[in-house]
Amino acid sequence: MRVGAPEAALEGSLVRLRSHEASDYGALNELFSDPEVMEGIGFAMPQSSQGYREFVESTRGKEDRVLFVIERLEDRQAMGGCGLDGIEARNRAAVLGIWIGKPYWHRGYGTDAMRTLCRFAFRHMNLQRIELNVFSVNPRALRVYERIGFKVEGTRRHSHFVGGGYVDSFVMGLLSEELTDEDLPRG
């Protein structure tokens, strides 16, 4: 199987994943600070764009973490972020996170960004397992994850205090051979 150049591997059919530039922090922090976006991720409070920048910069050079800006292909609009954390060389596994700014929801960008990130992780980082945690009260995210092949592996009862009450969260996992990638073959 050809894997193609890494830049092409970071491109889906609607979005491209790229690294952060200094000009991203203000706009991305504004999108991230939406209460519904933060609720999905489990953040209780907004932060300054300086805080956002410091977080991104603190991950530079770390071998167990990669972070990307999600950019719309058609006009290079930065719409959100995604990444892998806790990358384990021995187990070839990582934990995935994603968010998209609310004005861009429901247009397929989240699904395309997930597929692109998982494909990159399996083909170019040589991972074999991706894990994530999702609140049981987040149907949008659940829909996206299940559509690309993630399976619920367990329930963490009352794991988080969100929106004034305790919610369960699901641990979901995806093995490399399970990714349903409608864009294949590429590269």
Ligand X SMILES: CC(C)(COP(=O)(O)OP(=O)(O)OC[C@H]1O[C@@H](n2cnc3c(N)ncnc32)[C@H](O)[C@@H]1OP(=O)(O)O)[C@@H](O)C(=O)NCCC(=O)NCCS
Residues making contact with ligand X (CB under 6 A):
37, 40-41, 98-100, 105-111, 134, 138-141, 143-144
Question: CB 182 → ligand X: shortest distance, Å?
Answer: 12
Q: Which helix (H) or strand (E) holds 70?
A: strand 66-72
**Minimal distance, residue 61 CB to ligand X, in Å:** 26
Q: How far is the CB of 46 from ligand X (least distance, A)?
A: 14
Nearer to ligand X, 6 or 35 (CB): 35
CB atoms under 10 Å from CB of 131, counted, come to 17
In angstroms, give the least distance from the CB of 95 to ligand X.
Answer: 11
Select 101 or 122, whichever has its Cβ closest to ligand X.
101
Cβ of residue 77: shortest distance to ligand X, in angstroms?
Answer: 13
Nearer to ligand X, 30 or 126 (CB): 30
Helix (H) or strand (E) holding 165: strand 165-175
User: Which of residues 15 and 56 has its CB atom nearest to ligand X in the complex?
Assistant: 15
| Angstrom distance (rounded) from CA 152 to CA 127 | 19
CA angle 16/123/41 to nearest 5° reads: 55
**Contacting residues for 179 by C-beta, under 8 A, at least 6 apart:** 115, 118, 119, 122, 148, 149
C-beta closer to ligand X: residue 99 or 122: 99
Q: Give the pair of three-digit tokens for residue 142.
A: 């659940």
Q: Classify residue 81 as exposed, middle or buried by CB count within 10 Å of its CB (0-12, 13-18, 19+).
A: buried
CB 135 within 8 A of CB 167: yes
